[in-house]
Structure 1
Amino acid sequence: MLVHPPDRPTALPPGGANAIGHTLGLVGDEWNLLLLRYAMLGVRRYGEWRTALPISHAVLTRRLAYLTGMGVFEKAEYESRSRRLEYRLTRRGRDLWPVLLSVWAWEAAWVPEHVESLPTMAHRRCDRPFLPILTCAACGKPVRPRDIVGEFGPSGTWERSVPAATTRRRSTSAGAGVFPQTMTLIGNRWSAAILGASFQGLHRFRDFEQRLGAPPTIVAERLRLFCELGVFEQSPSAERADWLSYHLTEKGRAFFPVVSTAVDWGERWHRAAEGPAMTYTHPSCGQDFHPQLRCDQCLAPLRGHEVAVERPAG
């Protein structure tokens, strides 16, 4: 059984799912994302999640067990007499904050109808509300997807980067205060895989199907949804007029901070025996690219303990 220590990277066996696959298995599940969202806002106890979410006892129990097994939560007694437990974010779990902040920032910019449901973020260092800016950790310059060159590393293949199927949550979460567009992009394992593949240059239907090993009906559904959301746009292929190509729009490219911070988290906390799954470089400075979030108000690098997150009013 694979062990995920909460304070050091997981050693992955050769030939299995790589860092990306394990990360997608975590963030590519709607319930996991919801539990993490509330955990970042201070929720720790079983009953608090049950009150905040329309989740059954069975599903909540399974997801808490999964996140604990992944080293993201740890159980601790908060009432010794009755041996009641709460679930606290570990170092590994707290390290997911750049991913959550990137999700909230994208929603604020591109899904205005959900802004009132977003947590409020303030930077304690400058004492102002902020939005994170994606920059290169090596040189500090802001980056966009076209500024970064990415390729598979020694453990990186499409097959190893798609997680094995797990129990999935049905996509009817609007009543839970969830952000439906974000869930459409990363709340499903195939959505997350297709989105990640598009950032690596895939744009044809058959490429998504063949490279990812995804069922054609799933690929067709995901591409349709991405186009409806304005994340992809379709156009005739340069190879054949009766073929379609799917390219990221500006809205889709703006999701890159979520993708890059998730991959970076995965590589830090999952070490494959063969080496990394993905390698990114920033040609502008000639260094390996690692994402760093900066405050758009004071431009200082953001640190987890300097970010104040509060629940939305009401």
Structure 2
Amino acid sequence: MLGVLGDEWSLLIVQQTLLGATRYGDFVDALPVSHAVLSGRLRTLVTEDLLTRREYQQHPSRVDYTATSKSRSLWPMLTSIWEWERSWVPEHSHPLPAMRHSSCGVLFAPRLTCRSCETPVVSEKELLAQWGPSGGWERSVPSATTRRRSAERRAGVLFPQTMTVIGDRWGFAVLVAAFVGIGRFTDFQNELGAPTATISGRLAIFTAEGILHTVAGRYVLTDKGRALLPVVVCALEWAQRWYPDPDGPAVRVTHVACGHRFDPKLTCDHCLEPLRGAQISTS
């Protein structure tokens, strides 16, 4: 998952596809991306079965790109990102619109809910995360680095602060580590095995953006950082669904209240019914 979605352009291209973009020019119009980068990411997304490439005209050759089941199932993660940016990132040049649930017809906020007991989950303290048989930091951190884009170049993207987390593989690994209780600089470095400059850089960015703050020498999630919980668990659920390991899951998450495996579900905070991607529109 980190290898495929831990790249801001890949996630943004999938997001644009789910919003209706299908042709190369649609992506060029929507994203401040170079032709070389766009062409490369489209090839990768097709290879990873996140997009389907179809030639609809031969002379001259023209193709379109459509979402697959694999990419459509990212809607819980993308919905959680949308809600987090609306709630916690006020500096959008154009405010993000609210989301409407077509089933009940009202503007809503998604609620993270346990599928087993139907109880809302509002804090990471309600969940217990443990490594599964195929898990471990050495298999869960990026094997390659990606170039971070400057704040000025990120200004044109739809989810600027989310991209500092999801759009950066080391950033996502640092965030997950914070969610499972790692707090001291040396512990981040020892657990993740990252260079000192990499850890210090990501921690500095998260602190500047209000996702982490320091308490008695430890980096601790703020309310803003803890509100990323739905993004993290929906990303994890997607990863383990589409990239299963024959040895078993990489991470086991238990809902402490009911004692069952935590399978995340998003529900409407108004009608309390389960959400479906096709029922969500912007207003």
State whether TM-score is above 0.5. Answer: yes
Normalised by the size of structure 1, how large is the TM-score?
A: 0.85
Q: Check conservation: 1:104, 1:119, Cα contact below 8 A.
A: no
Q: Distance in 1 between matches of 2:251 and 2:97?
A: 31
> Per-residue deviation at 1:141?
0.8
The CA deviation at 1:167 is 5.0
Separation in 2 of the partners of 1:50 and 1:279? 40
CA deviation after TM superposition for structure 1 residue 309, in Å:
4.5
1:30 paired with 2:8, answer yes
Question: Residue 224 of structure 2: which of 248, 251, 257 is its match?
Answer: 251
**Residue 129 of structure 2 is aligned with which of 150, 161, 164?**
150
- Flag structure 1 segments of 5+ consecutive residues without an equivalent: 1-22, 237-243
Q: Contact 2:146–2:168 at 8 Å: present in 1 too?
A: no
Deviation at 1:184, TM superposition (A): 1.7
Give the Cα–Cα distance (whole angstroms) in 1 for the partners of residues 199 and 106 of structure 2. Answer: 42
- What TM-score do you get using the length of structure 2 for normalisation? 0.94
Aligned residues: 281
Q: Give the direction of change, closer, same or farther, for the CA distance of 1:234–1:137 in structure 2 (3 Å limit).
A: same
Task: Write the distance in 2 (CA, Å) between the matches of 1:81 and 1:306.
Answer: 38
1:296 Cα shift?
Answer: 1.3
- 2:270 matched to 1:276? no
Shift in CA distance, 166/119, structure 1 to aligned 2, threshold 3 Å: farther
Q: Contact conserved, 1:72 with 1:92, CA < 8 A, in 2? A: yes
Aligned match of 1:223? 203
**CA-to-partner distance for each residue in 1:90-121, whole Å, 9 max, x for gaps?**
00000000110000100111112228442542
Write the deviation string for residues 41-99 of structure 1: whole angstroms up to 9, x where unpaired: 10011111111222111100110111111111011133355441111110000000011
1:78-157 matched pairs, under 5 angstroms: 78-79=56-57, 81-114=59-92, 116-118=94-96, 120-143=98-121, 144-157=123-136
2:240 aligned to 258, 263, 267, which one? 267
Task: Answer with 286-295 or 48-57: which moved more.
Answer: 48-57
User: Do the aligned partners of 1:173 and 1:180 also contact (CA within 8 Å) in 2?
Assistant: no
What is the SS of the residue equivalent to 1:114? coil
Letter in 2 for 1:229: E
Are the counterparts in 1 of residues 82 and 159 from structure 2 also a CA contact under 8 Å?
no
Amino acid in the other structure paired with 2:141: V
Sequence identity percentage: 47
1:9 aligns with none
Equivalent positions of 1:1-314 (< 5 A) are: 23-79=1-57, 81-114=59-92, 116-118=94-96, 120-143=98-121, 144-165=123-144, 167-168=146-147, 170-171=149-150, 172-236=152-216, 244-309=217-282
CA distance in 1, matches of 2:106, 2:57: 37
Task: Please give the alpha-carbon distance, in whole angstroms, between the structure 1 residues aligned to 2:145 and 2:57.
Answer: 33
* Separation in 2, partners of 1:206, 1:35: 36
Q: What is the alpha-carbon distance in structure 1 between the residues aligned to residue 97 and residue 5 of structure 2?
A: 19
CA contact (8 A) 2:146 2:169 kept: no
Letter of the aligned partner of 2:210 in structure 1? G
Cα distance change, pair 185–234 in 1 and its aligned pair in 2 (3 A) = same
CA contact (8 A) 2:207 2:213 kept: yes
Instruction: Give 3-state SS (helix, strand or coil) of 1:284's partner.
Output: coil
Amino acid at match of 1:63: R
CA separation in 1, counterparts of 2:145 and 2:157?
24
Within 2, Cα distance between the matches of 1:76 and 1:158? 38
Residue pair 1:41, 1:309 contacting (<8 A) in 2 also: no
